[in-house]
Amino acid sequence: MSKYILEAVDLQYSYPDGTNALRNVNLPIHQGEKLAILGSNGAGKSTLFMQMNGIYRPDSGCIKYQGEEISYKNKALIELRKKVGIVFQDPDSQLFSASVWQDISFGPLNLGLSEEKVTERVKQALIDTETTDLQDKPTHLLSYGQKKRVSIAGVLAMEPDVIIFDEPTAGMDPRHSQEFMQLLNSLSDKGKTIILSTHDVDLAYSWSDRLAIMYRGEIIAQGLPGELFSRSELVQHADLTMPWLIETYNELLKKGWILPSTPLPKSKEDLFKIIPIKSGQQTA
């Protein structure tokens, strides 16, 4: 067995209209990791995701699942989609049924599970996404954030090993996006591999184990978040900005408040901890 659960190898893809969407993309994904893909609009993140569960077929190169090149035969595709789930950016193009319950049951039923099993999974997915009280409402009476959570439940109910989220927090209010990040963490604790795309640099930096930066259909860098963000020319080139945590850290370093040996803070709490108390001041 390969050490990568999913891997993009020399992926080339252009849309039928000739737009070069992916250029020579190589991206290994480790089992159980939290990978964030950063890139501005139109960088090719969504296109790459469509490759990862076989919706688009590459012009050249391939996608490997557990070291094996994926096949585009119907049966094999269903197997793949059982393992790799995608939550799309726009819930209105993912929810096909007006009934929350029916929509969530669609995926697991396609896996050929029994009705009892599907009912169980739908219920669990409703609990995990806190949508239990929405189950009798029609999708068109839900708010954007609620629709988003239902569309996430629809993928969770399939219990895939790898879950891909395309711009998951776009359009969510702060409270729900925070809860969503907790949901991601708990999924990750259960051993799921999670890939998400975003252009929120703060979120990508704090949350991810590993980071890939896409720019115009290419992956221009991948590695640990702290390392990538220390290269400011790279961040600028990809039309991104620095996470505020790193900017603050750099400023504190420059003005001598902290030593160069201080580790990069991963969260707000980390940062507050490394800020020293001013001499002569009483501890609060």
Partner 1 sequence: MIAIDSYAYNNQLKSVHPSEKSLFAIMTMVICITSPTILTPLVILALMAGGIIVKAGIPARVFIKLLLIPLAFLLISVVTIVVTVSTDPSGLWLYQNLYGYTIGIHYPDLVQAVHLFLKSLGAVSCLYFLALTTPITELITILHKIKVPYIITELMVLIYRFIFVFMDTAITIRRAQSSRLGYVSMKSTYRSISQLFSALIGKMFLKSRDLYDSMSARGYTGEIRVLTKKYPINPKNYVIITVLEIFLILINLLWR
Q: Which is nearer to partner 1, 17 or 189 (CB)?
A: 17
Give the shortest CB-172-to-partner 1 separation in angstroms: 18
C-alpha 112: how far from chain center: 27
Helix, strand or coil, per DSSP, at residue 280: coil
Of 150, 120, 154, residue with least CA distance to 132: 150
Binds partner 1 (CB under 8 A): choice among 14, 26, 40, 119: 119
Strand 34-38 to 210-215 pairing: parallel
Chain position carrying tokens 């939290």:
34
Give the shortest CB-107-to-partner 1 separation in angstroms: 4
Binds partner 1 (CB under 8 A): choice among 10, 59, 69, 115: 115
Residue 161 engages partner 1 in binding (rule: CB under 8 A)? no
Q: Which is nearer to partner 1, 63 or 95 (CB)?
A: 95
Distance separating alpha carbons of residues 24 and 46, to the nearest angstrom: 16
Binding to partner 1 (CB under 8 A): which residues in 169-228? none
Those residues with Cβ within 8 angstroms of residue 237's Cβ, 6 or more apart along the chain or in another chain: 215, 220
Q: Which is nearer to partner 1, 99 or 250 (CB)?
A: 99
In the chain the first and final C-alpha atoms are separated, in Å, by 54
Build a one-symbol-per-residue string for 64-93: x at contacts with partner 1 by CB under 8 A, - elsewhere: ----------x---x--xx--xx-x-x-xx
Q: Which is nearer to partner 1, 36 or 155 (CB)?
A: 155
Give the shortest CB-282-to-partner 1 separation in angstroms: 56
Q: Which is nearer to partner 1, 109 or 213 (CB)?
A: 109
Binding to partner 1 (CB under 8 A): which residues in 136-155? 136-141, 154-155
Other Cβ atoms less than 10 A from the Cβ of 202: the count is 15
Build a one-symbol-per-residue string for 231-250: x at contacts with partner 1 by CB under 8 A, - elsewhere: --------------------
Of 22, 23, 68, 70, residue with least CA distance to 48: 22
Residue 167's region, left for phi above 0, alpha for psi from -120 to 50, else beta, is: left
Give the shortest CB-11-to-partner 1 separation in angstroms: 18
Q: Which is nearer to partner 1, 78 or 127 (CB)?
A: 78
Distance separating alpha carbons of residues 88 and 82, to the nearest angstrom: 16
Give the shortest CB-109-to-partner 1 separation in angstroms: 5
C-alpha 271: how far from chain center: 24
Chain position carrying tokens 């250029």:
23
Residue 40 dihedral angles phi and psi, to the nearest 5°: -75, 180
Q: Which is nearer to partner 1, 81 or 192 (CB)?
A: 81
Q: What angle do CA 213, 216, 220 make, to 5 degrees?
A: 35
Q: Which residues here bind partner 1, judged by CB under 8 A? A: 50, 53, 55, 74, 78, 81-82, 85-86, 88, 90, 92-99, 101-103, 105-107, 109-111, 115, 118-119, 122, 135-141, 154-155, 158
